[in-house]
Amino acid sequence: MAARDYESAPASQTLGVEAVIRGLAKDLESLRAGKITVQDAMARSMLAKQIFNGVRIYLTGSKLLAEQAKTIEGPAE
C-alpha cells in the first residue's frame, strides 16, 4: 500500500480491525471444533481486547487533534 493510500484508507482498514475480527471468528470456530483449548481462545481474545483498546485510543486522539487543528495560510503568490 502506497503512502497516499495509507493516508486515505479508513481507520479500520489502516489499523487492521477487520483482520482481528476475522481472526476472532476463526478462533471461535477452532475452539468449537476442538482444535484449540479454552485457554488459547481466552489468551487470543485478551490480545484482541488490547488491540481494540489501542484502536480506541488512536481514534480518540485523532478526533481530538482534528478538532484542535488550525488552518495555516499557504505562501503568498
Domain limits for position 20: 16-56
Residue 38 lies in a domain: yes
Residue 39 lies in a domain: yes
The CB density around residue 19, as the number of other CB atoms within 10 Å, is 12
What does the angle CA 17 – CA 51 – CA 18 come to, to the nearest 5 degrees?
10
Alpha carbons 14 and 6: distance in angstroms, whole number: 7
pTM exceeds 0.75 for this model: no
Residue 34 lies in a domain: yes
Q: What is the pLDDT of residues 21-72, one digit of tens each?
A: 999 999 999 999 999 999 999 999 999 999 999 999 999 999 999 899 888 8
**How many domains does the chain contain in total?**
1
Residue 26 lies in a domain: yes
Residue 64 lies in a domain: no
Residue 71 lies in a domain: no
**Long-range contacts of residues 17-22, Cβ cutoff 8 Å, at least 24 apart:** 17/52, 17/55, 20/48, 20/51, 20/52
